[in-house]
Chain A
Amino acid sequence: GAGVSQSPSNKVTEKGKDVELRCDPISGHTALYWYRQRLGQGLEFLIYFQGNSAPDKSGLPSDRFSAERTGESVSTLTIQRTQQEDSAVYLCASSLRGEQYFGPGTRLTVT
């Protein structure tokens, strides 16, 4: 069956530009998560959506980061006025009963 998909797979942007990253979760999964992994570092939680509840935004590093989810479907992570420290792989995961399944990630490079 189809897994979690993310687009684009790679994104190169200039410092100061806005970017949007997309995640399509596994159909029927009520929970959706965004994480990021900077080079040589571990995975950091960013934001979590569960059904119609208010999202857990506790991991967002600054107000330049925001995310939306349409129902129990696609999610977009937006980074405004990108900085070089935003360069990372951004991973999306979805789950139904606890086990999280990850997409292949979007590699973001800010030049």
Chain B
Amino acid sequence: KQEVTQIPAALSVPEGENLVLNCSFTDSAIYNLQWFRQDPGKGLTSLLLIQSSQREQTSGRLNASLDKSSGRSTLYIAASQPGDSATYLCAVSLDKLIFGTGTRLQVFP
């Protein structure tokens, strides 16, 4: 059974810091891995999708890497801003998504 773990569970940093959020999964048989952000009381916003054949994806200040053989992904956020405050979720997929429990990020000015 696929299990997805995210560490840390919570993170509070001053504005401007570079951050690394970690995601690990137990079964490497995945089609893709997706990173989302969830703002309080709102739905999920897709940030990055990494196909199983890819090693990384970049979008603006975000970079996600995937090491399928070791069952790990990292989300790197450069030059963090208060607007980045949210819960970040990783999810792995064969068809349905299996979600981690998230990292709650707070960036303070």
Which residues of A are in contact with B by a Cβ distance under 8 Å? 31, 33, 35, 42-43, 45, 48, 50, 56, 59, 91, 93, 98-105
Closest approach, in angstroms, between the C-beta of A60 and any C-beta of chain B?
A: 12
Interface residues of B in 74-101 (CB under 8 A from A): 89, 91, 93, 95-101
Chain B residues near A50 (CB-CB < 8 A): 95
Interface residues of chain A: helix, strand, loop or mixed (majority): strand
For chains A and B in complex, what number of residue pairs have CB atoms within 8 angstroms?
51
Q: Which residues of B contact A98 (CB under 8 A)?
A: 31-32, 49, 51, 93
Q: Which residues of A contact B101 (CB under 8 A)?
A: 42
Chain A residues near B91 (CB-CB < 8 A): 43
Q: Are A56 and B99 interface neighbours, CB within 8 A?
A: no
Enumerate chain B residues within 8 angstroms of A103, measured Cβ to Cβ.
Answer: 43
List the interface of chain B (C-beta within 8 A of A). 31-32, 34, 36, 42-46, 49, 51, 89, 91, 93, 95-102
A42:B99 contact, CB within 8 angstroms: yes
Tell me whether B102 and A35 are in contact (CB under 8 A): no
Contacts of A56 in B (CB 8 A): 95-96
A101 and B97 contact, CB distance less than 8 A: no
